[in-house]
Amino acid sequence: MWRFLGETMAVFAKDMRCEFRTRVAFNSLALFAVTTLAAVSYTIGPYGIAEADRPYLLGALLWIVVFFAAMAGLDRSFVKEEETHTAPLLRLAARPLVVWGGKLLFNTVTLALLMAILVPLYVVLMGLSVRTPGWFILVLAAGCLALAVTTTIVAAIVARAMSRGALFAVLSVPLLLPLLVFLIQGTRAAIEGRVPDVLAALRAVVSLGGVMTVASAFLFPVVWHD
């Protein structure tokens, strides 16, 4: 177990080191997130929505911004390995689950860093007031993990395909759509302070994330080697 964790951390540390030296994935994520956020806050702003519609629309817009950013940058973790021909070295040296674990950790940390910058900005620019901040953060954390799990396995599949950009979006949509629906419901409930509804949405998000994690762990070795 410790050996597996050590090898996984090696992949994660390598990805972080390479990312800090090139900033390709983080710049793509940040560019999309900031551009979308700026467009939304400029056109809608804090007062462009009626008070009654605010929790639902602001919750939905927040996840749309995060979703677009995730689509823009998280596939890079695998695509870059294929494009720079480092994937065969990784295939030869590392166990498949170690690669998957390291990439998942990298995508989770990247998305978490992005959300740590993006969400406070969104709250300020859109004048969002949250009644239960603790539950709000929990929904964001669960969403971050579930999004990272889903985009990681989709990125692995896409990296092996030829028309990468389009395929990433096409494969992600059916997998991410139910997740986004529950995340938006949970975020809205947290904004309005309806804890039982937050719990129901969280259960759904954790279940979907759990199913995706188990499915990914089984699917990844096949995707990685074939």
Partner 1 sequence: MRRGVTIRFEGIGKRFGRRVVMRGIAGQARPGSILVLTGPNGSGKSTLLQILAGLIRPTRGEVRYLDGDGEVPREEWRHRIGMAAPALALYEELTAMENLEFCARVRGLEVDGDRLRNGLVAVGLDPDRPTVVGGFSTGMQQRLKLAQAVLHDPDVLLLDEPGANLDPDGQDWLAEFVRGMAEEGRTVVVATNDRDEMTWGTDRVALPG
Is 79 an interacting residue with respect to partner 1 (CB under 8 A)? no
Rounded to a whole number of angstroms, the minimum distance from the CB of residue 4 to partner 1 is: 9
Q: What angle do CA 138, 146, 84 make, to 5 degrees?
A: 130
Look up residue 140 and give its two tokens: 């964001």
- The DSSP code sequence of 52-73 is GGHHHHHHHHHHHHHHHHHHHH
Q: By CB under 8 A, is residue 90 in contact with partner 1?
A: yes
Q: Does 3 bind partner 1 (CB under 8 A)?
A: yes
**Angstrom distance (rounded) from CA 153 to CA 60:** 24
Instruction: Return the amino acid letter for 65.
Output: V
Tell me how many degrees the CA angle 27-14-223 measures, rounded to the nearest 5.
85
Q: Which stretch binds partner 1 (CB under 8 A): 10-18, 44-52, 112-120, 183-191?
A: 10-18
The position carrying tokens 């395929």 is 167
Contact of 148 with 66, CB cutoff 8 Å: no
Which segment (94-102, 140-148, 166-174, 193-201) binds partner 1 by CB under 8 A?
Answer: 94-102
User: Whole-number minimum distance, CB 87 to partner 1, in Å?
Assistant: 9
Least distance to partner 1, CB of residue 33, Å:
24
| Amino acid at position 196, single letter | P
Residue with tokens 């994937």: 87
Closest approach of Cβ 16 to partner 1, in Å? 11
From 85-93, 105-113, 130-138, 192-200, span contacting partner 1 (CB under 8 A): 85-93
Cα–Cα distance measured from residue 31 to residue 49, given in angstroms and rounded to the nearest whole number? 25
Residue 37: C-alpha distances to residues 20, 34, 76, 132, 151 (Å)? 24, 5, 22, 23, 21
> Considering the rule CB under 8 A, would residue 23 count as an interface residue with partner 1?
no
Q: Is the CB of 77 or the CB of 150 nearer to partner 1?
A: 77
Q: Measured from the CB atom, is 7 or 75 closer to partner 1?
A: 7
Query: Which of 46, 48, 88, 210 is in the footprint of partner 1 by CB under 8 A?
Result: 88
Q: What are phi and psi of 44, to 5 degrees?
A: -105, -50
Per CB under 8 A, does 84 bind partner 1? yes
Kindly determine how many residues on this chain lie close enough to bind partner 1 according to the rule CB under 8 A.
26
Binding span for partner 1 by CB under 8 A among 30-38, 79-87, 106-114, 119-127: 79-87
Please identify, using beta-carbon distances, which residue of 98 and 176 lies nearer to partner 1: 98
What is the contact surface with partner 1 in residues (CB under 8 A)? 3, 6-7, 9-11, 13-14, 17-18, 21-22, 84-86, 88-95, 98, 225-226
